[in-house]
Chains A and B, each alone.
Chain A
């Protein structure tokens, strides 16, 4: 019997954080929750060469402290990788669905 070999390629994208406070507490929660809704392995980084962090870990995502204007690199591996990248970059591009700007300060933290 021939069992089909499934080859999955890791795909990646990058998106600029335009939310005034960067990837602060509430956006991090939203990002993590969306990432968790996909089966793919999803990682994020603030540099093209990594280090890569688990996008489904709230501690890691919040710990990145990606500020306003930072480029967020996202990569995904799995059956829904394409949709995952599309949805996650949309969330960032849409400023986390208009999540209200809380008091500033967090964007003063360098990543």
Chain B
């Protein structure tokens, strides 16, 4: 089964900060990355992750990605970190299915999944805008 997990209960103040969603082909990588974010950055950022396809194999599921985005939703927007190809395409489909106006506030980061998630969450924890959060995650990799 693909898994969507809201890692922990968030304080209400977290909802004012940009949310972070981690989408990996592997449920273990998704969980591990989210756990690292939680331990290093804390709980001031809405955080959710998903990994694996609907058969429980490596892969990603549009349905699970939508559920993860809903869990991490913040009016300030959501930054999505993905690993390989299908994670990105399925995230794009998920965002399209969520539709406007919310889809305008969901951005996929062009950044390595673990490092990008830590950078994005650190930036988000200080109350930065979605654009600033995505830019910080992407600052790591030469564009």
Q: Which residues of A contact B (CB under 8 A)?
A: 25-26, 29, 32-33, 36-37, 56-59
Contact = CB atoms under 8 A, between A and B. Distances in A.
A57 B118 CA distance: 12
Contact of A37 (B40, B118, B126, B139): B126
B90 interface: no
26 contacts: A25-B40, A25-B118, A29-B40, A29-B41, A29-B118, A29-B122, A32-B126, A33-B41, A33-B122, A33-B125, A33-B126, A36-B125, A36-B126, A36-B127, A37-B126, A56-B126, A57-B136, A57-B139, A58-B118, A58-B119, A58-B122, A58-B123, A58-B136, A59-B136, A59-B139, A59-B140
Contacts, number: 30
Of the four ranges (under 10, 10 to 19, 20 to 34, 35 or more), the interface on chain B belongs to: 10 to 19
Interface in B17-71: 40-42
Given A26-B40, A29-B118, A59-B140, 9 more contacts: A29-B40, A29-B122, A33-B41, A36-B127, A37-B126, A56-B126, A57-B136, A57-B139, A59-B119
A41 to B, nearest CB: 14
Contacts of B119: 58-59
Contacts of B42: 33
A81 to B, nearest CB: 18
Interface in B107-133: 118-119, 122-123, 125-127
A107 B22 CA distance: 29
A25 B36 CA distance: 11
> Which A-B residue pairs are the 9 nearest by beta carbons?
A36-B126, A58-B122, A59-B139, A29-B122, A29-B40, A26-B40, A58-B119, A32-B122, A33-B125
Nearest to B121: A29
Nearest to B41: A29
B74 to A, nearest CB: 17
Contacts of B140: 59
Which of A25, A32, A33, A59 counts the most chain B CB atoms within 10 A? A59
Nearest to A57: B136
A27 to B, nearest CB: 10
A25 B140 CA distance: 14
A29 B118 CA distance: 8
A91 to B, nearest CB: 15
A99 to B, nearest CB: 10
A90 B136 CA distance: 26
